[in-house]
Structures are given as structure tokens and as C-alpha cells.
Amino acid sequence: MATQKKSNIHILDGNQAAAIAAKLSRVQVIAAYPITPQTPLTEQLSQYVEAGELQAEYVAVESEHSAMAVCTSASLVGARAFTATSSHGLAYMHEMLHWAAGARLPIVLACVNRAIGAPWNVLNDQQDSIAQRDTGWIQIYCRNNQEIMDSVIQAFRIAEIVHVPVMVCYDGYILSHTEMPVDIPDQAAVDRYLPAYQPHTVLDPSNPKNYNLVTLANPRVGVDGKLCHGYMELRYLLQEALQNSRETILQAGREFNEVFGRDYSDMFWEDREDAEITIVAMGSLAMEAIVAADMLREEGIRVGVLGLRVFRPFPKSDVVRALRKSKLIVVFDKNISYGSEGATCSEIKSALYGTYINASIRNFIVGLGGRDIKARELVDATKKAIASLKETVINPDYPEWICQI
Amino acid sequence: MGTRECNHICDESSPGIGEAGITGEWRIEVPSIDEKKCIPARSNKPTCFLCWLYCPEAVITKGIPPSINLEYCKGCGICSQVCPVQAITMLPEEKM
Ligand code: SF4
Ligand code: SF4
């Protein structure tokens, strides 16, 4: 594919980047319910439709549950569907997230990460999307607004090949309401990169079909005499699709680089692979971690950063490769699985189990409900993790919290 | 043989009798039509057919008298309830 040579840089916040990306992806149906901090994104999309700049149906629904129901129906009949939400909205959508994934529909959802009540809070953490981890959606996390733009476009490409919906997650306010330079791809290049959606379910009145009716546990013989999947076979296929989606995600990233000159050919972002100490973080926190790593290196401590980009499917083998030289892994999580630890920490531990890597792993919970995270705090936490290798300064079984309790 | 050959990636079926499997196996009571009471049978006219209309499995034909496909009749008894002349009796399923 021919590369888009000219850059077209604008100063955009994260919501604007997502809205422009949805428009460039020529979405045909948008169904969304406004919720802080996602609201400006839906406002922008409804303006595009109202002004005739985007040939799409904008369905003003009464809830997020309905938003995903509309997207599911639209996708089933062959439309490219997009929605966006945050926090309680995503929680309310929970049931329909399962329906979209189970029906294998390539819907793209922008999740503007926000804390969940109680107590009420509109600021950022990643508890909302992490709580939807097991719905069968691919999850991609963005570090900056350029990645939001690029990831939404790639998300449609990936979803429509593997038939799995994709959640593009980005931090509320930190990205959604913060402006930074973003290169806007040109429409012709996006059209080349993202061909028209080919649905796997074709609704045709002359050949009526049922989709996702009561499906018993065991396979059954259909009216055409063929043995059809039972519930469990269909669940297997969803797991298989996510397991195998890595290749498609990487391919979509490589081809994106060929057309737009920005490389997404890995499942994570890596900064200094020689490091013996690796900080792991996801979303915009990975950028903060790079600042902290720089400060530590100035003090002579060799620290690298692994920024997780794709959380589902979790890139086990890639993470093992990235962490091969690590002696200590410090995982910062903006979410908590209560009674256990941060979700990304669990994933890292699970990926390393049974490999030759015998690194110590320490977990810190940070930034919940928009609590400011200073690079200095990440530096201090990393030093505490280093000290814990020699003396018991923290309980290695449970995460440390960076707060004032 | 596995189910992969059906080539579906989500649950997909064609509408038709038996799309939910052999629902006859669910039955504990079986409907039986008494031709001496059934209106179409008595009048020899294609009339009434309320049982045909209400059967949720669509397994009753509009015959004179109506006939029931017991392969897929799930034994719910709705036909027996809607029959205006009590021509349909639910009998215990013999294989039980
Ligand atoms: S209404 Fe119920 S009992 Fe009667 S024929 Fe239909 S399935 Fe059988
Ligand atoms: S509802 Fe009763 S009377 Fe009417 S057709 Fe059926 S069995 Fe006969």
C-alpha cells in the first residue's frame, strides 16, 4: 500500500481524536448515551451527522444498554457500528457486551476510562474497562491522543477480520480532555487501509435465519441435517478467535505503518530492553513511567518500561520476551481486583509462570479516582520495590497502595 | 465428527420444525384429539383450528381432524387449554 506522505497535524484532545477516527472509518451507525468524560465525543459525532459530513445513522438512545443493543442489531445486518462510554455507562452495558462478543460482531467501542462509584467520582482510573475483561472483547489501551486516533481505525480493521468486538480504552481527562498534536490521516488512505465491512451474518428475507436463539449445552442437528455447535462449542470458538487474534492485530499494526508511517507492530511499547528492572504500566501511565525511568537512570539504576497496549488477548509470549532480562518487575495498576491485586500484575505473573524468568514482582495500586500520579512517586515506589528484595519492607502477596492511609 | 463443519461462528439456524432439537423428548404428557368432539372432524369443514394457531411449536396441521407431530410436540398442553370443546386430553406419556 502506498504511504501517506504529507502530515496533517492538528491540536486535538482525545475525544476529538476518537470522533475524527470514527468519521474517517466511515461508521454507518452510532448509538451512544452521553456520560462524563465521554460526552464531547458523542457531541462531536452527532454534529458530523447533523451537518451531513458523516453519512451515518445517529441513534439517540435512552441508555448504554440500549446503545449496545442498537450497535449489535446494526452490526448484525451489515452496518459498521460505533459507540463510546465510560464508567457506570460501561457497567450498565455489561450484559450487551456479552451479546456483541457472543454474536461475534465487529463493533468498536471507545471507553473513556473513569472511576466507578461508590463513592461518586468522574475522574480517571481503569476499573471500568478492567471489570469488562471477561466479556470476550479485545481491549487496546492508548498512551496518547495519536494512539487513540490510530487505534480506533485499526480496531475496525482487526474486528472485521477476526469477528470480535474491540474496546479502545483511553484515560479520562488525562487524554480525553488534554490537547496534544495529532496527525490526522487522510480519508483516501484510510479508505485503502479499511475496506468496506463484510458481515458474516447475512439477513435475507428469501433465506430466513435465526441468530443466537436458545442454544443448549450439547451440539444438535439443524433442520438442514448438519450437526451444529452447542453452547460450549460457540464459547470455544470465541476463545479461539481471541487466542488467534494476535497475528491479525500485529498485521493490522504493520500495515498501518506502511500506509501512515506509525508503527504498531508489537503488542506493547518497550523502552530500553537491556534493563534489569522493568516498570509495567498501561495507558497514559506508561508515559509517566518513562519519565520515572529517566529519573532512575540518572541515578544509575537501570530501569526500562513495558507499556501494555493490548490487554485482551493478553500477549503472554510477547511479554515473556520483553521481560527476559528482568530481575525485578514493578507493576503499576490503575485498577484493583479486590482481595487479590492489580489486574495487569496478575497477568504478568501468569505469563511468567513456568518460564525460565524468575523475577521478583511487586505491585502498586495508583491513581484511583483521578488521584494525581507524580513521576517522583513512581520513582520512590520503584526504590521501595528494590529495597524489598533485601528486607521485608512490603508484603509481596498483596499490592502496595500509593495513598495516604 | 465435530461441529466445525457447520461453519457457523455464532449460533445460526434456519427456522423450521425441529430447529430446537427433538423437543418431543421433553414431554411428560401427550395430547390426544377426540374426533367425536373436534369441530372440524364433526362438521367436516376446515374451521376452528385454535389448537393449530396457539401451539407454540407449530406442530399441529390444519387437517380434518388436525394431526400433531409428536416428534416435536413438547407436551405443554396449550392446545388442550384453548380447545373450545375440550376435544384434546393430555394423557401420561407412556415411556415415562
Ligand atoms: S400445544 Fe403443546 S401439547 Fe399441544 S401439540 Fe403443541 S406442543 Fe404439543
Ligand atoms: S381447537 Fe379443538 S375443536 Fe378446534 S380444531 Fe383443535 S381440536 Fe378441533
Any domain includes B49: yes
Does some domain include residue B32?
A: yes
Q: Is the pLDDT of residue B96 over 60?
A: no
For residue B5, being part of any structural domain is answered with no
B24: closest CA of chain A, how far (Å) = 14
Domain-embedded: residue B18: no
- pLDDT per position as a tens digit, A241-273: 999 999 999 999 999 999 999 999 999 998 887
Whether B66 lines ligand 2, by a CB cut-off of 6 Å, is yes
Give B22's pLDDT tier (boundaries 50, 70, 90).
Answer: confident
Q: Is residue B14 part of a domain?
A: no
Q: Where are the alpha helices (DSSP H) in A139-278?
A: 145-162, 187-193, 231-260
C-alpha pair distances (Å), A119 with each of A91, A251, A255, A369:
15, 42, 44, 9
Listed residue (B55, B47, B57) closest to B85, CA to CA: B47
pLDDT at A339: 96
Asked if pLDDT for residue B20 goes beyond 80, the answer is no
What pLDDT, on a 0 to 100 scale, did the predictor assign at position A272?
Answer: 82
pLDDT class of A392 with cuts at 50, 70, 90: confident
Q: Which residue in A160, A210, A244 has the most chain B C-beta atoms within 10 A of its own C-beta, making it the best mutation to test that interface? A: A210
Q: First-to-last CA distance in chain A? A: 55
Q: How many helices and strands, by DSSP H and E, does chain B display?
A: 3, 3
Find the Cα–Cα–Cα–Cα dihedral A182, A185, A186, A189, rounded to 10°: 170
With an 8 Å Cβ cutoff, is B94 touching chain A?
A: no
> Is residue B16 over pLDDT 90?
no
pLDDT for the residue A326 = 95
User: What is the span of the domain harbouring residue B30?
Assistant: 23-92
Q: Is A227 helix (H, G, I), strand (E, B) or coil?
A: strand
pLDDT band at A4 (very low <50, low <70, confident <90, very high): low
pLDDT of residue A393: 84
Q: What stretches of A98-149 adopt beta strand conformation (E)? A: 108-113, 138-141
Query: Which of A173-187, A205-219, B82-96 has the highest average model confidence (pLDDT)?
Result: A173-187
Question: What's the rounded Cα separation, in Å, for the pair A366 and A305?
Answer: 16
Return residues 12-71 of B near A (CB < 8 Å). Answer: 12-21
| Full set of structural domains in chain A with CATH | 9-199+243-260 (3.40.50.970), 268-401 (3.40.50.920)
Nearest atom, ligand 2, residue B79 CA: 1
Asked whether residue A1 carries a pLDDT value surpassing 70, the answer given is no
pLDDT, residue A274, reads 76
The residues with which A298 forms a beta bridge, in sequence order, are none
Where b means 16+ CB within 10 Å and e means fewer, A354-373 reads eeebebebbbbbbbbbbbeb
Confirm or reject: Cβ of B77 under 6 Å from ligand 1: yes
**pLDDT-based confidence at residue A205 (cuts at 50, 70, 90):** confident
Candidates B9, B14, B16; nearest CB to A104: B9
B35 in a structural domain? yes
Residue B59 lies in a domain: yes
pLDDT at B95: 59
pLDDT at B18 over 80: no
pLDDT value at position A182? 98
Name chain B contacts of A106, Cβ cutoff 8 Å. Answer: none
In this predicted structure, the answer to whether residue B43 has a pLDDT above a threshold of 60 is: yes
C-alpha cell at B43: 362438521
When pLDDT is averaged across residues B39-67 and rounded to a whole number, the result is 95
pLDDT value, residue B57: 87
Task: Calculate what percentage of chain A has a pLDDT beyond 70.
Answer: 99
Closest CA to A128 of A97, A157, A163, A162: A97
Nearest CA to ligand 1 atom 7: B73
Whether B70 maps to a domain, the answer reads yes
Name the residue in chain B with its Cα closest to that of A229.
B3
In this structure, what C-alpha cell is assigned to residue A230? 452447542
Q: What does pLDDT average to over chain B?
A: 91
* Mean pLDDT, residues A192-204: 92
We report the CATH number of the domain holding residue B58 as 3.30.70.20
**A163 residue type, one letter:** H
Counted domains in chain B: 1
Beta bridge pairs of residue B91: B30
The DSSP string of A261-301 is: S----SSEEEE-TT-SEEEEEETTHHHHHHHHHHHHHHTT-
Region B67-92 average pLDDT: 96
Atom of ligand 1 at shortest range from CA of B74:
7
Measured in Å, residue B30 CA sits from the centre of ligand 1 at 8
**Is the pLDDT confidence value at A221 over 90?**
no
Q: Look at B9 and A211 and tell me if their CB atoms are within 8 Å.
A: no
Q: Among candidates A400, A376, A390, which has minimal Cα distance to A299?
A: A376
* Rounded (5°) CA angle A74-A75-A76: 90
Task: Give pLDDT, residue A2.
Answer: 60
pLDDT of residue A311: 98
CB B48 less than 6 A from any atom of ligand 2: yes
Mean pLDDT, chain A, whole residue set: 95
* Cα A109 → chain centroid: 9
Confidence (pLDDT) at A134: 98
Instruction: Identify the pLDDT of residue A308.
Output: 97
CA A69 to CA A405: how far, in whole Å? 42
pLDDT at B94: 80
The least confident of A108-117, A134-143, A208-217, A278-287 is A208-217
The three cell numbers of residue A71 are 450497535
pLDDT above 90 as % of chain A: 89
Pocket test for ligand 1, best of B26, B69, B78, B81 (most atoms within 8 A of CB): B78
Give the nearest ligand 2 atom to B82 CA: 1
At residue B65 the predicted structure's pLDDT band, cuts being 50, 70 and 90, is: very high
For the residues A29-43, what does the mean pLDDT come to? 98
